Amino acid sequence: MTSRKPRVVLGVSAGIAAYKACELLRRLTESGHDVTVVPTADALRFVGEPTWAALSGNPVSPQVWDGVSEVPHVRLGQGADLVLVAPATADLLARAAQGLADDLLTNTLLTARCPVVFAPAMHTEMWEHPATRANVATLRSRGAIVVEPASGRLTGRDTGPGRLPDPAELFEVARHVLARGADGRDLAGRHIVISAGGTREPIDPVRFIGNRSSGLQGYALARTAVARGARVTLVSANVALPDPAGAELVPVGSAEEMHKAVVEAAGAADAVVMAAAVADFRPDGYRGSKIKKAEGSEPEPIRLVKNPDILAELGETRRPGQVIVGFAAETDDVLANGRAKLARKRCDLLVVNQVGENLTFGRPDNEAVILGADGSRTEVPRGAKEDLAETVWDLVAARLRPAPPAEGSGGAAPGGGPDRRETSAPGAHGGVRHRSR
């Protein structure tokens, strides 16, 4: 007996980014989802009804009067497992926030009792207008996930925040939201700071000291946190990965740059997860020109000095209720070194994993033991890095203090229980936008 395909309503409003929704639709249908496209009437000026029908395999109409005998204005929302609106224009967000029901898409939004995700796309001035920000806050307070738009080239010559995130990344958000269901927004109203990638410490204009980190684990943490309703700031060092939909991206290069960016972002964060591989040392001075190889002589030694210890500083300066998570990449005596680091850095959770050639770095999978300051130990068997990320967020959510939602940052107060594999009860410890650095 075959299981029912997940039912997705893909809403499309009237923005030039509507053409990108075709790629999103293709990913949804090819991965086994039953997708009904509900465009607004003006959206059909950008992409026509035959295209949506051919790609989805389902009839397409923006009108509540088509197929009245099947009551589509109620049936679609009631039967959906997910409603995803991409692109969501300023007009659509306003109508959804006000509870208007003047076409099939807004009727569907009113009747849906499943997770609802909006992916805004508009010009920067429209996205930053107080009316739009208020509408976004209203939708989030009602339980919807509104992902932050990306920053980049917009219609015409304009550049800035307001670009529709990459369809592949939006698909990942949709996949994670569907997997968790209607009760999966336990990070709603929370601001999460995540570091990812590997820092590079310049020696001269050509060379640097670096490491093997790919950023895959940090980016998995960002994607899954967005899908659980969090506002995510991702401080990213030297990666070659697409921007996770819905995260504010802060690109950095060196450990000192990461230190400045993380400390600045962490001030008002509910949780900070240091998944980046930060260099412990840097050259004591930068050579302004390339160091040349001299025949018959050995190169001058490069003296190293310590970089700031970001995790230790976060542990010492945390504000009450803030949850700090560190990562420990170890090659020998993995758990013993991990326990020592947990105590030394004063973090709430430490994700300990073994690294080496063809192990962890650059791979899509990972395994770890998550140690808690309360004495807990959670083993995560080898699997996709998203699986480890979900376990991290389960443990973080269980440690966050209950708090009323902040205006504009989320909905109901987060909840969530401890991971079933945890060996002791947790303690109560006290879209993509870019910012240039």
Catalytic residues: 211
Q: Enumerate residues 6+ apart whose C-beta is below 8 A from 290.
A: 204, 205, 206, 207
- Known binder of ligand: residue 302? no
- Known binder of ligand: residue 311? yes
The residue behind tokens 């601001």 is: 191
> Rounded to an integer, what distance in angstroms lies between the CA atom of residue 383 and that of residue 55?
32
- Known binder of ligand: residue 281? no
The residue behind tokens 């009437």 is: 41
Amino acid at 340: A
Tokens of 196: 């990812």
DSSP sequence for 353-407: EE-BTTBSTT-SEEEEEEEETTS-EEEEEEEEHHHHHHHHHHHHHHHSPP-PPPT
For 50, half-sphere exposure in the C-beta direction (CA atoms, 13 angstrom radius) is: 0
Tokens of 340: 């020592």
- Known binder of ligand: residue 280? yes
> Rounded to an integer, what distance in angstroms lies between the CA atom of residue 430 and that of residue 378?
20
* Mode of pairing for the β-strands spanning 349-354 and 323-330: parallel
- Known binder of ligand: residue 385? no
Tokens of 62: 């923006």
- Known binder of ligand: residue 327? yes
Q: Are 326 and 351 in contact (CB under 8 A)?
A: yes
Q: Are 307 and 280 in contact (CB under 8 A)?
A: yes
Angle in degrees, 0-180, between the axes of helices 255-266 and 310-317, rounded to the nearest 10:
20
The residue behind tokens 């310049």 is: 202
The residue behind tokens 């207008």 is: 129
End-to-end CA distance of the chain: give it in Å, rounded: 55
Cα 123 to the chain's mean position, in Å?
A: 22
Q: Are 145 and 177 in contact (CB under 8 A)?
A: yes
SS3 281: strand
- Known binder of ligand: residue 167? no
Q: Are 265 and 193 in contact (CB under 8 A)?
A: yes
Binding site residues, as ranges?
280, 290, 308-311, 327, 341, 345
Binding site residues for CTP, as ranges?
280, 290, 308-311, 327, 341, 345
